[in-house]
Amino acid sequence: MDDSAAAGKTHEDYEAELRAANEIVYKHSLELARLKQALEVANAQQENLLHFISHEIKGYLTKGEAAFAAIAEDGMEVPAPVKELAGSALQEMRKGVATVMDILDAANLKKGTVSFDKHPFDFRAAVENIVREFQQNATEKHVSLTFTADTGDYTLVGDEDKIRRHVIRNVIDNSIRYTPEGSIAVTLSREGNVVRMFVQDTGVGITPEDMQHLFTEGGHGKDSIKVNVHSTGYGLYIAKQIVEAHGGKIWAESKGPGKGSRFIVEIGSS
């Protein structure tokens, strides 16, 4: 006597049960497939809407920025308090434009509509210039910002503008924002064909939980948002996309909260 006979069931009974089970699994899979399709459509619509809104807002902000710049920076004769007010408004407007640009750039990178204008440039000079630009910011916060580089050729082939704006500036700016006191050391090294930039700070550090979201789209860390409330969460996501588009890697290290962080950018020179 076989098992099926012992249980009082025939092979046909088992087959029927199996078919019924298959049918249930199929219906669930179908439901999931339809939800997935609906989600993909909704995501695409949301992305398009986000892109449209960002683009429109950028247009308004840019016009406002130009008007305030004319008053604050172009020598227009206005009373000093007005000039001061316009200067302050201009700064806020520029932050607004930068925020919107971050969102637009992230959307374009995700859609794959970003083109890269690659040509040889001096990575060392780019980093050194940007460190110099940030000196005042760091000094105002009483944070020491230093730059050192091993000797050697730091020529990279890449989109200089995007690497400057989205990678170098972003990483150094982040370090300044998240370092209330202490120091930031920017160093460069070259090993074979690989150029590395290290940005080491004595700042607030990164929790293991925040570390998981660090380079993700809109990835705000639970703790980091308390320090930088204006963060869009797109800066490091964009930096990662740009570095990877150049065949490189970017990552962060931290021993935890209060123990500082180190960001490493690695790009091949050939």
Partner 1 sequence: MTIFAQIASKIIKEQELVIGPLAWSEAGKVSGVHVDQAHTEVTLENGDPKEVVDRLVAQYERLFGRASHEVCKEAAAPLLVGLAPTEIPSSLRAA
Give the residues lining the site for partner 1 (CB under 8 A): 19-20, 22-23, 26-27, 29-30, 33, 37
The smaller minimum CB distance to partner 1, of residues 19 and 55, is found at 19
- Residue 11 CB, nearest distance to partner 1 (Å)? 16
Cβ at position 229, least distance to partner 1 in Å: 42
The pair of structure tokens assigned to 48 is 């398009």
Write down the least CB distance from residue 44 to partner 1, Å.
17
Quote the DSSP letter at residue 79: -
Q: In the block, which residue shows the tokens 């374009």? A: 108
Minimum separation from the CB atom of position 4 to partner 1 (A)? 21
Is the Cβ–Cβ distance between 211 and 76 less than 8 Å?
no
Q: Tokens standing for 135? A: 């000196």
Is residue 262 within a helix (H) or strand (E), and if so which, with residue range?
strand 261-268
Phi and psi at residue 23, to the nearest 5°? -65, -40
Q: Which residues contact 197 (CB under 8 A, 6 or more apart)?
A: 123, 127, 168, 171, 186, 187, 188, 264, 265
Q: Which is nearer to partner 1, 26 or 60 (CB)?
A: 26
3-state secondary structure of 12: helix
CA distance 36 to 43: 10
Residue 157, H or E segment: strand 155-158
Whichever of 12 and 140 has its CB closer to partner 1, that residue is 12
Q: How far is the CB of 113 from partner 1 (least distance, A)?
A: 27
Specify the pairing of strand 182-191 against strand 194-201. antiparallel
Question: Is the CB of 18 or the CB of 125 nearer to partner 1?
Answer: 18
Shortest Å distance, C-beta 34 to partner 1: 9
Question: Measured from the CB atom, is 37 or 212 closer to partner 1?
Answer: 37
**Pick 20 or 66: Cβ nearer partner 1:** 20
